[in-house]
Amino acid sequence: MNDNITNETEVQNVEMTAGEMLRNARTTGRRKREIPTIAKQLCIREEFLQALEDGDYSVIPEPVYILGFARNYAMELGLNPDEVVAKIKREMGLSADCAVDSDAADNSACAAPGAAGVGFAARAGAFVRRKWKWFAGGAAVLVVLIVGIAVLVAALRGGDTQNPTDVVAVETAPVVTEPAYSKEVRERFGTENREKANVVLQAIQDGWVKIEDARGNTVFSRVLVSGDVYYVPEGNGYKAIFGNAGGIDIWANGVLMEKAGPAHTRKAGISLNPENLKPAAPAPSDAE
């Protein structure tokens, strides 16, 4: 009897679109649920969940966010997230290589057919983001060389053009020490907090992250794709909600802390005060 029910369900899932699968899982069975309730639990806007059920993917700005929202929604409804994501890729005409948990630094695989120019621009932008330290260092060296040449030329001319003592010293930006991230950085958020942030988050799996201040005001809310980094503002009153607690690395003062919870588990009220976080247990050595 159970085998027949399972087979019928699998046949229905094959015939249904991704949106129909999501709506059917939410509105049938013993546990019927409303979109506003699920939206609050996942910290995803109601119109985005409605768009997923309607198959109107134009409402959500980027393919990678469409797939990330769909994966979290499917897991919340007890569906197979890989099956739902695969259906959406087929419905949108995306490449099979387009994956929300890819380690690649760009999402050109998620581009629709014919978007080669856009893919090239995305890859170029991703390269610049990955190698920003090189570009910044090269620019600083170039500035120093220009100033040095100007001083040398002025000295050779006998100081008629400019007195070397009048040259304004070039101030270099302080070097920010980054944690030893588990994943290559894909994109950075909260960069205005970067120089003073004591706590840094990195997604090692896709998951929704929401940060609130001491008054409960939201200061950051979005799906972090694997490799994304967020710099938490300085201060001890910030708390977090993780849609995938085991998929977020927490770094405090450059030290990796314990996970907020197991993978694919929603956790709320997570204190981001470094004093309340515990360092992660060191990995066992080969000798042990």
Each of the 288 residues of the chain gets a pLDDT tens digit; together they read 545 444 555 545 667 899 999 999 999 877 788 999 999 999 999 999 999 999 999 999 888 999 999 999 999 998 999 999 999 999 888 866 665 554 433 454 565 444 444 344 545 555 666 667 778 888 889 999 999 898 888 888 765 544 545 555 556 655 667 999 989 999 999 999 999 988 999 999 998 899 999 898 999 999 899 999 999 999 888 999 998 989 999 999 999 999 989 988 998 999 999 998 889 887 666 554
Question: Domain span at residue 138?
Answer: 132-166
The reply to whether 120 falls in a domain is no
Our count of domains for the chain comes to 3
The verdict on 201 and 150 lying in the same domain is no
The reply to whether 114 falls in a domain is no
The verdict on 152 and 213 lying in the same domain is no
The reply to whether 107 falls in a domain is no
The verdict on 33 and 66 lying in the same domain is yes
The verdict on 206 and 151 lying in the same domain is no
Q: Tell me if 66 sits within 8 A of 80, measured CB to CB.
A: no
The verdict on 151 and 206 lying in the same domain is no
pLDDT for 258 equals 92
pLDDT for 10 equals 54
- Kindly report the number of other CB atoms within 10 A of residue 23's CB atom: 20
pLDDT for 114 equals 43
The verdict on 197 and 155 lying in the same domain is no
Question: CATH code at 272?
Answer: 2.60.40
Long-range contacts of 214-217 (CB under 8 A, 24+ apart): 214/238
pTM, rounded to two decimals: 0.44
Distances (CA, A) of 250 to 104, 205, 280: 21, 13, 9
The reply to whether 104 falls in a domain is no
The reply to whether 211 falls in a domain is yes
The reply to whether 32 falls in a domain is yes
The reply to whether 173 falls in a domain is no
The verdict on 72 and 136 lying in the same domain is no
User: Helix 46-54 to helix 18-27 angle, to the nearest 10 degrees?
Assistant: 120
**Nearest residue to 21 (alpha-carbon basis) of 88, 107, 69:** 88
Q: Tell me if 263 sits within 8 A of 245, measured CB to CB.
A: yes
The reply to whether 98 falls in a domain is no
* 3 state SS of 267: strand
Distance (Å, whole) CA 23 – CA 161 = 76
Phi, psi of 200 (to 5 degrees): -130, 135
Long-range contacts of 57-62 (CB under 8 A, 24+ apart): 57/88, 57/91, 57/92, 62/107, 62/110
